[in-house]
Each structure stands twice: as structure tokens, then as C-alpha cells.
Amino acid sequence: MRRIFRHDSHEMLDDLGNTPDELEGHHEFETTGPRPSPGFASPELFLNRELSLLEFNRRVLAQALDDRIPLLERLKFLTISSTNLDEFFEVRKASHQERSTHGSSMTEIDGRSTRQVLTDIGLGARTLVADQYRALNEVLLPELEKENIRILRRDVWTEEQAEWISTYFRRQVEPILTPVGLDPSHPFPKILNKSLNFIVLVNGDDAFGRETGIAVVQVPRALPRLIALPRTITGDDMAWVMLSSVVHAHIATLFPGMEVLGCHQFRVTRNSELWVDDEEVENILEALEGELPERKYAEAVRLEVASDCPDEVSTFLLKRFELPEDDLYRVDGPVNLGRLGVLHGMADRPDLKYPPFTARFPRQLARTEDPFEAIRQADIVLHHPYESFAPVVDLIRRAASDPDVLAIKQTLYRTDKNSPIVSALVEAAENGKQVTTVVELRARFDEAENIDLATQLQDVGAQVVYGVVGYKTHAKMTLIVRREPDGLVRYVHMSSGNYHAGTARAYTDVGLLTADEAIADDVHHLFHRLTGLGAMQPLRKLLDAPFTLRHEMRELIAQEAVNARAGKPARIIAKMNALTEQRTIRSLYEASQAGVQIDLIIRGACCLRPGVPGVSDNIRVRSVLGRFLEHSRLVFFEAGGDRLLFASSADWMSRNLYRRVETCFPIEDLSIKDRLIAEDLEIYLGDDVAAWDLESGGSYHRTGGSVDPQVELLKRIASVPEPDKVDLEGGGRRHELRPA
């Protein structure tokens, strides 16, 4: 039977419904793992993923109101909260809306129906949006103004400022705008996803005698959304105007001889998933290239309008986008808060930003000019961003020019637009190396960039494959094969993060450089599995999805329960971005019931409900937010005193464990193991100012700590000047959002 599934629809299915048990027997190679007690399957024991994600964005917004954080960084947190919510609508809400439209009866992990989830999403998102705009208007803009940083509304422009802005509009903006009057010859235009638009109400006859009354003005994305005013007309202030204000103020010039009765900005958010028939297409790259343009005009999932937009206008727009009233959001300010994020870079106020730092270069590599020799002598761990990502880039560059290097193999999920790693791979191919890259074309929102880099690599003769049909390749690994006096030696880099030099300075991640023969052999087999054909071969040290990872993790959890029942020390610490996979959660409940002390550091969505009497009394869930995005995935097991530590590319989500190619690698060097346990796990479980603890009901509360672990790690590992004005030792007041 021919199966047509939406790009990522299998992931949506796994994460939205109670499907893991059904999927458990999907592969012929499945082994029998520990099956948690069916008593832990009750919906009351689980939290809803979508509502948990909204809670995460509420925690991000709270960072914008914490005045221990530099002011421009707080504005940045507000914009992150807004752009996160955009993606939530494009992906999560869109998937539920699609299921509801097609009459799906699938229930959530917590027993909610699709319709209930949509209702709850609407309530939670509406409250969050209202709080975002109150944070902007009542807190951040007034505080920025105190620092002589101003975003000027139209009603406060001086005559001189208004004249400069009018000239700017005539020269830089008006020539690009194309107003469309609506009539039978000019139907309602196609509106680009998340673009800035105006609906304009006009009165009077035009040159052709038409009197339609309604026009639409679309603002191209090529225009900057924030425009700096010259100091000659602002005095001591650094001042900007929003492009939306500039267009609004001059909208009448687009309709000469007509009376403008109203002008209202609006923005529509669309479903951003892609349709791909994996069984029918012959070339997934060509299929995605054909689908990407359609994403911009897919089904609408949300309409945002200015708060003063009349009901008849918003109703008209809802009808055009085929949306119900519940999907209308009125906002008190620009319809896209994310656009304010550029102010962070434009404002020359280092005192209102996080202090700069210099990442440490590992000592083993700093002492030698030969990275291969250093890696052969001992494993090297890289704890980003406190330690530099440069050794990874340098290693691949060195391999590209080293005459003894014969082959380089690498997975690429996300990378920089002008990636130094891709440039090194291009050089390697041009130098005659055997270069093989597994490029994941379907990395959400990076599809176009990955198509470009795949084409770039193919053009120089690199062998490029796109992974396995039906499975995203999310593993992060590099294999370098080098001819040395004693034969071929393989060098490996594995990581919890992407090959992206930019995010390596903004995300916490763990990378391992090793020449361990067993790990290199495992990585060799994994690349063969991704590029060729053949039955699954057992790995010696690595765990991988969709094969062994979930079973081995559950086995290790179960063994901790056995140890606890036997009176032995039993402890689990797991850190990751999300925990939503039902059977793993049930295994943790069983371990908790046996007396295992479990600490979970889950940055984002968590479906596990802690603190349930008799079930999860021994489980604590903590979310950490700070300057850096906590992205590393580490799992520690006491293991009867053996103290096992694993780093992984995978979260404990159904999509990662069942429908992605993932890797999980052991940290075996004792000194490295102890260091990572201290630096990336235990430090977050103490007196942590950046932490939020999850309550049994699904809400989070601040821990009230006084130590910022990320600041502490910067002091310990990297080089950073002492902050002048930021109080990181506690005592700083926080603004509280009033209930909507």
C-alpha cells in the first residue's frame, strides 16, 4: 500500500499521541527491553507537551523582566520569546489544527483531545502574547528610554524628525511598495508567511472611477524594520523608528486624491511543514526544492492585527484567511516583536550587554602543532561555549590539507551560512580526499541552506547523500582516516551540538575528540549504514537510534531500580532539551518508586509529572535558562559505583528515539567524566539563580538561588572581565507581569 506522509508527520504522530508502544515492534531487529508497569500509563501522570512548551516560552519572557540581566539582553529575551511562539504556531499548533480539520481522534499523552489542546493553546498563547506586549510597553521601552535609547512612535516625532523620516520614505521605501486596491480585477493578494502588511480603508473615486474602499499594502522583507535616526536630529539620544510607523505615517501618499479612513497592520502565520512523498520521489533534494516556495503561502494558523483594528476589518481578514475568531490576536505594538532583536546589535552600549569572553583553547591542543598526535595520546573533551569550537574547525582544515589524510566523512544537520567547515570539506575534495557528507536536507527551517551546501559539495566532487528515507539524520559525527607509520588510524569527533561555529558560542554543548579504535569502528559502521545497504551490525561502544539507544537507556534506568531495591546507592542525572517519550518516562517512574534519586535538567518541554505521591516522589525536574542556550545532552548513572556517563545528540522524545538517526557516546576517561559531571550536571542542581523547578501541576517556580552557573563556568574555564553593572549575586529586583 502506498504511504504518503507529511514531512515530519511521523514525528508529529509519535510526539502527539500514545504511539510508542505501537512503534516498539516496528523494526525486525527490536530486542526485548524492560517494559514499565502498565500502572504508569494513566494520563494523569503526564503533562501536555504543547502546554509545557508554552510554559517554556513564559520562562524565556521572564528573563526579559529580570533586571539582574543587562537591559539589551532582556530585550533580546523578549524577541526570542516572540520568535519561539511564531515557530510554535507554525509547527505545533499547525499540526493540531491539521489533525482537527481531518477529524483525527488521536488523544494526547495526558488524555486531552485535539480540540481540547487547541482550546488550551489558544488560552495560553493569548495570555503569553498580552504579557509580551506589556513587558515591552510598560517595562523595557521605559527603561531603554532612561538609557537614552528610544524607539519613537509617530505621535512624538519632532518637526525635524518628521521631515527626515518623510525624505527617507520617499527615497528608500515608497519606490518599493505596491498598493493593491481590491476589486474583481485585483483579488486579495497572496500574503507571505509572517510578513508585514497593511489593510487600508479609503474613500473616493480613483482615476478609473473605481470606488472599492479597501486596499492592501505588502511591505517587502528587503526593507529594514528598524531605522536609525541621525544624532543631528535626536540630540543625546540613540533613536530609531519602526518601518511600520514610517509606512503608516505616509500611507496617504500611496493613494493620491483619496481619503484614507483607516490603516491597520496585520500579519498572518502559516503552517510551515513540508509535504514529501518519501516513497514516490526519486530525488528528495529536487522534491524539497519544489516544496519550499509553497511553505510561504500554506494554510493560515494565526492572524495578528493592531489593537485598534475595527471588528469589521478583522472579520474581513479572518474570512480571507479562513480562520475562526479564536485565531485572531490583537497586539499593542508592532505585529512582529522579533524584529526588535536587531536593536541589540545596533545600539552601541556594551554596558547594557553581557560582557565579552574568550573561549579557552584546550591545553592538550595548545601545546602541540599536531592535533592528530594530541588526540592519539588521550581523549579531548570540548565544553562549548566555555571552550573554543576552533579545534574542530582546525582539525578538519588540517585534514583537508594533510597529504596523509585519505578520507573525511561527516554528518551535517545545521551549519553556518558561510561555514568554515564546509569550506574545509570543499578544499579536501579539491585536494583529492575521499569526502563523504550526509546532509540532512529536512532540518526544519534550514532546508534551503542545506540544499545549497549539498550542491556546493557535489560540485567539487564530494560524495553527498541525504540519509535514510523516513529518518532524519540528527547524529553529529566526523570520521577522519589518516595514513600513519603503523597503518591507518581513524580520528573521530562526536557532539551533542551542530557543526555551527556561531551557535557554538551561544549554546552549551559537549564534544569529544578521540582515536579510540572501538568508537572509530562504530562510527565507520554508522556511516556505512547511512550511505549503503546491509543488515544492522552491533556496535561496540556507541548507542544509536532508532536501534539500541532507547532500549539501553531503559535497561540502565531499570538497573538503577534494581540497585536501589538492593540497598545500593542509586542515582540518575539527565540533562537534555526535552523529555516527552512515554515509555522512558514510565521507566523513570518505576525507578523513582524503587527509591532511585533522579534529577532531570530539562530546558524545554517535559511531559513527566514530578512529585506525584508514590510515583515520582524521588524525581526533581529543573529548567535552566541563561545567557547561553542549554543544549548539551548528558546522562549519568551511578551504576553501582561504576558511574557511567553518556553524551548524546538525542533528546528523550519519540521522534529522536524512533524516527531519527542519533548517536550516544560514552565518556570513559575518569578525569573527563568527573569534570563533565561537575561542570554540566551537578553545578545546575545547587543554588542556581537561573533555574526553575517544575511543580506537579505543570507550572514552574524560580528556585531563588544566588549563583549563576553559566557566569561561574565562564570564570572557571573561559576568560571574561568582571561585570561592572550587573548584579549576579542576587538581590536584584524582578518585574512581575500582571495577569492578563
Show the cell assigned to 152: 519613537
Show the cell assigned to 704: 531563588
> Domains along the chain?
148-348 (3.30.1840.10), 370-538 (3.30.870.10), 544-717 (3.30.870.10)
| pLDDT over 80 at 27, yes or no | no
Higher pLDDT: 249 or 284? It is 249
| pLDDT over 50 at 403, yes or no | yes
Question: What are the residue numbers of the active site?
Answer: 474
Which candidate, 57, 64, 132, places its Cα nearest to that of 87? 57
What ranges make up the beta strands (E) of 454-530? 463-465, 472-473, 477-484, 487-495, 507-514
Q: What is the mean pLDDT of residues 142-153?
A: 96
- 529 marked as part of a ligand binding site: no
| pLDDT over 80 at 733, yes or no | no
Q: Confidence band (pLDDT; 50, 70, 90) for 621?
A: very high
Report how many helices (DSSP H) and strands (DSSP E) the chain contains, helices first. 23, 29
- Nearest-10 crossing angle of helices 94-101, 9-16: 90
Q: What is the pLDDT of residue 297?
A: 67
Q: What is the mean pLDDT of residues 232-250?
A: 93
650-676 residue pLDDT tens? 999 999 999 999 999 999 999 999 999
Higher pLDDT: 28 or 642? It is 642
117-136 residue pLDDT tens? 999 999 999 999 999 999 99
Residues 62, 63, 65, 71: what is their CA dihedral angle, to the nearest 10 degrees?
A: -160
Share of the chain above pLDDT 70, in %: 86
Q: What is the pLDDT of residue 629?
A: 95
- 444 marked as part of a ligand binding site: yes
Residue bearing cell 512548551:
53
Distances (CA, A) of 228 to 153, 307, 351: 13, 25, 20
Higher pLDDT: 320 or 441? It is 320
Q: Confidence band (pLDDT; 50, 70, 90) for 32?
A: very low
Q: What is the pLDDT of residue 36?
A: 55
Question: How far is it, in rounded angstroms, from Cα 372 to Cα 1?
Answer: 51
| pLDDT over 90 at 280, yes or no | no
Q: What is the mean pLDDT of residues 276-295?
A: 48
Which candidate, 597, 633, 591, 608, places its Cα nearest to that of 694? 608
Question: How far is it, in rounded angstroms, from Cα 261 to Cα 246?
Answer: 17
484-493, long-range: CB within 8 Å, 24+ apart, which pairs?
484/372, 484/404, 488/406, 489/372, 489/376, 489/515, 490/515, 490/517, 490/520, 490/521, 490/523, 490/524, 491/372, 491/375, 491/395, 491/515, 491/520, 492/516, 492/519, 492/520, 492/523, 493/392, 493/395
**Of the candidate ranges 17-31, 617-631, 658-672, the one whose mean pLDDT is the lowest:** 17-31
- 414 marked as part of a ligand binding site: yes
Q: What is the pLDDT of residue 287?
A: 46
| pLDDT over 60 at 371, yes or no | yes
Which is it for strands 380-384 and 507-514: parallel, antiparallel or unpaired? antiparallel
pTM confidence score: 0.89
Q: Confidence band (pLDDT; 50, 70, 90) for 517?
A: very high
- 700 marked as part of a ligand binding site: no
| pLDDT over 60 at 25, yes or no | no
Which candidate, 457, 411, 469, 405, places its Cα nearest to that of 432? 405
Which is it for strands 644-648 and 634-637: parallel, antiparallel or unpaired? antiparallel
Higher pLDDT: 70 or 9? It is 70
Q: What is the pLDDT of residue 442?
A: 63
Q: What is the pLDDT of residue 736?
A: 42
Q: What is the pLDDT of residue 721?
A: 59
- 631 marked as part of a ligand binding site: yes
Q: What is the mean pLDDT of residues 65-78?
A: 97
Phi, psi of 562 (to 5 degrees): -60, -45
- 154 marked as part of a ligand binding site: no
Q: Confidence band (pLDDT; 50, 70, 90) for 354?
A: very high
Q: What is the mean pLDDT of residues 698-724?
A: 85
Q: What is the pLDDT of residue 281?
A: 41
Q: Which residues pair with 496 in a beta bridge?
A: none
- The chain-wide mean pLDDT, for the chain, equals 87
Highest mean pLDDT among 37-41, 93-97, 608-612: 608-612
